[in-house]
Amino acid sequence: MNADDKTVNGTSALAHKDSGELEHIGPVLDAELIDDTLPQPRGRTVRRRLVRWWLHSPLVPLWLKSKPQAVQALKDAVVAVLKSPWRYLRAVVRGLVAGARWWRTWVTVRDYRTAAEESDKLADKFTDIRELTLFRWKVTGAVLVVAAVAVAIVHLVYGSDPLWIAGAAASVTLAILGRRKDGTPGRKPALAGPRSLTWTMDPQVLVDAFRDAKLIGKDESLRLVERAHRIGDGWAITVDLPATRKAADVVKNREALASALAVDEVQLIVERVRGNGGHAGRVSMWVADEDPYASPPLRTPLLGVTRWDAWRAVPFGRDARDRRIDLPLVWTSLLIGAIPRQGKTFAARLAAAGLILDAWVRLYVADFKGGKDWDAAGQLAHRFMSGDEPEHVLSLVDWLVELVAEVQGRYRRMRDLDDLTCPESKVTPDMSRDNALNMPITAIIIDEVQLPLEDRTPVVVQGKKVPAGEYIGELLTWLAKKGPAAGIVLVLATQRPDSKTIPSGLRAVLGSRFALRVMDWRDSNIVLGEQMNTRGYDSSRLLPSHKGVGILRPDGDTAAGADVLAMTVRTYYMPNEDWQAICQQGRALREAAGTLSGHAAGHDTTPTLDHAAVARAIGTGATTGRTPAPADVVELPEPLASVVAYLGDDLDDGGRAFVPTSELVDALDVEPTAFGRAMGDYGCRPSRERVPGIDGETKRVRGYLTADVRAAIERVTAGEAAPDDG
């Protein structure tokens, strides 16, 4: 080999140095240049096209595209094979009954008799009918005799085998005659019996149910997207509605559909399929075999947990499908509303339990019920109080002022942090556990929040006296808006969810809502949001026996999916002994981590406050100075007084701009014509405005502008007359 050459197929190569010696330069590998732009082999292209066609073609059944669907189809086939003897026998019996009915109609000349009755000639045709009836009886007898003789001859000549073959053929004929037809679960009985859920066996019954509920037309049908299969203790199915039909209407009319399916509405879950796999006309249904909330509730899984991470969603309850529903709390807030003795405090304590088991969470707990439900939290809370006296309300004001100043300080400190420590203007898990930064997750829990919000104790803010409840509402609203990014979590519980108790501005910024049973749909909407009852979510329809069952509208992803608007959830059960054990565990965790502070550590000092700076930050001076002195209060006449009482904070500038007349008439229970005439006397003239409907489309409705109502109130207060239209 020439020394100037390099071995390219071997393991090494040689080259000349400048001095003439050979130098080892390591392995030299050969390679082949491949052009990615060249066309792929034809076999691979054909295979890809075939796979794409197989997965998207409507000609290929769904069970051949999906493994879960194939497994379910195999189960259905096995069940069908096992049940086939009994189904065949029932079909033969139904065929015998159908044949006997047909023979009876024929032998009694029913058609001839009916025609004679309708023409009022029964008397004239009676002799003919009698003769024809006797003739057909004779034909029947002759046929039976001939059949008996034929059977005897065949049996003597050929044995019993032909008779068995003929019997099998006859049974097949009878089974075909007695088969169930589409749209009818069986032959129509003379006396209808109780309805039952049979759509899982006969999809046509599901179509009939949609038609009976007036969700589709008589000439319209459904398209099966996902065949019926078992999920938990119930059946699930996904269908597409006809064109122009909307899934939102099915969700809204869930009660009518449940009636058509012969189940209680708590057993039926109807959801619109969202995202890439859904559209506005795709509906997912799940029907439970029995009441999913009739069984005893489950205890909270937090009992078996040594510690919890507050950044994880807290185990809150289970839905009807027995899926665990976790509630995210960080970066959001929670409002719980219910009438007494429905599980409101239990639900609030479930949310608090996950925060308690994180040693780095700082807790503010205010129990305005004044009982002992929250006493166990006092051993670990940074600030704690229990009572409903004015001094407790003023203490809450100090807490909130302290938290507003804390949030402002956190935002200032975050501006000085580098992008690695604080990528955005939000608290991160590492930041919340850094003692040097002092930005722990801080949760303020207020039970019976309606009491401090309704308190009229005067508070001096920027030289003006304002009601303490109004000031608390503005502080909570500010914290709900700006606090979550700084690590502030609000958990508010109330047993009086109405527009006058919870200001509209505060309700609008509370992320997660949980409504247990309330008295009517208006209270349900106060908790869940406007027009939620028209979307099929009304907690006033929950059964009194379903303790701890409510409608959850989460702010974040859950086991039901990130696109689910709301869901019915049964909260976990956490009796007092479990609550006390969790609180004791929370104190032990804080003692070990050295994070016990404030009230729990015996250092419940008065917070350092700067009311003026906080008032300027939340803009109180521009909004709270409008409260008149008691001597200046003017009693409003009807119906203005009732309208003001109903709208509450929605009447404020920045609240609702327009209210439909139909809503006011229903809420105030007044006669429409007299109401319109009385409102006109005070200068409030109805107008037509466009408002969004439940289907997302806007429509023109008649109603009143809240600006006109405010102007009428000012005129009445000032003693001025209403403007003349002329």
Rounded to the nearest 10°, the torsion over CA 444, 450, 451, 453 is 80
pLDDT tens by residue, 602-654: 887 777 666 666 766 676 543 333 333 333 345 677 788 888 877 776 776 55
Give me the pLDDT at residue 621, please. Answer: 44
Average pLDDT over residues 6-13: 42
On whether residue 614 sits in a domain, the answer given is yes
Give me the pLDDT at residue 563, please. Answer: 65
Give me the pLDDT at residue 690, please. Answer: 77
pLDDT tens by residue, 210-251: 998 899 988 888 888 877 788 878 888 888 999 888 888 898
Average pLDDT over residues 175-201: 54
pLDDT tens by residue, 592-602: 999 999 999 88
Alpha helices in 108-121 (DSSP H): 110-118
By C-alpha distance, which of 582, 606, 600 is closest to 394? 606
Please, what is the average pLDDT of the chain? 80
On whether residue 299 sits in a domain, the answer given is no
On whether residue 421 sits in a domain, the answer given is yes
Check whether the bond before 292 is cis (ω within 30° of 0).
no
Question: Total domain count for the chain?
Answer: 4
Question: 281 with 362, same domain?
Answer: no
Strand 333-337 with 512-515, pairing: parallel
Give me the pLDDT at residue 384, please. Answer: 94
Question: 329 with 254, same domain?
Answer: no
User: pLDDT confidence of 726, banded at 50, 70, 90?
Assistant: very low
Question: 222 with 102, same domain?
Answer: no
In terms of average pLDDT, the best of 230-234, 504-508, 584-588, 674-678 is 584-588
On whether residue 189 sits in a domain, the answer given is no
On whether residue 54 sits in a domain, the answer given is no
Last residue of a domain, one of 584, 618, 652: 618
Give me the pLDDT at residue 445, please. Answer: 95
Question: 614 with 663, same domain?
Answer: no
Rounded to the nearest 10°, the torsion over CA 660, 663, 664, 669 is 150
| HSE-CB for 693 with a 13 A CA cutoff | 9
Distance, CA of 141 to chain centre: 67
Token digits for 516? 């247990």
Question: 664 with 702, same domain?
Answer: yes
Range of the domain at 705: 628-718
User: pLDDT confidence of 448, banded at 50, 70, 90?
Assistant: very high
On whether residue 196 sits in a domain, the answer given is no
In terms of average pLDDT, the best of 99-113, 323-337, 491-505, 658-672 is 323-337
In sign, the C-alpha dihedral spanning 207, 210, 211, 212 is positive
On whether residue 185 sits in a domain, the answer given is no
> Is the pLDDT at 73 greater than 80, yes or no?
no
CB 316, CB 513: distance < 8 Å: no
User: pLDDT confidence of 385, banded at 50, 70, 90?
Assistant: very high
pLDDT tens by residue, 246-263: 888 898 888 899 888 888
> Is the pLDDT at 350 greater than 60, yes or no?
yes
Strand 383-386 with 362-367, pairing: parallel
What b/e sequence results for 392-411 when a residue is b if at least 16 CB atoms lie within 10 Å of its CB, and e otherwise?
A: bbbbbbebbbbbbbbbbebe
> Is the pLDDT at 534 greater than 60, yes or no?
yes
Question: 508 with 612, same domain?
Answer: yes
Burial class (CB in 10 A: 0-12, 13-18, 19+), 336: buried
Give me the pLDDT at residue 118, please. Answer: 63
Q: How large is the angle between the packed helices 122-158 and 67-107, nearest 10 degrees? A: 120
Average pLDDT over residues 98-115: 79
Question: 351 with 472, same domain?
Answer: yes
The domain that contains 212 carries what CATH number?
A: 3.30.980
Question: 430 with 371, same domain?
Answer: yes
Question: Distance between CA 434 and CA 167 in Å, rounded?
Answer: 87
Question: 549 with 402, same domain?
Answer: yes
Question: 343 with 477, same domain?
Answer: yes
Question: 228 with 171, same domain?
Answer: no
> Is the pLDDT at 394 greater than 80, yes or no?
yes
On whether residue 23 sits in a domain, the answer given is no
User: pLDDT confidence of 2, banded at 50, 70, 90?
Assistant: very low
Tally of CB atoms within 10 A around 232: 15
Picking from 143-147, 241-245, 424-428, 719-723, which range would have the lowest pLDDT averaged per residue? 719-723
Token digits for 587? 């104190």
Question: 398 with 469, same domain?
Answer: yes
Give me the pLDDT at residue 688, please. Answer: 84
E-strand spans in 356-421? 362-367, 383-386
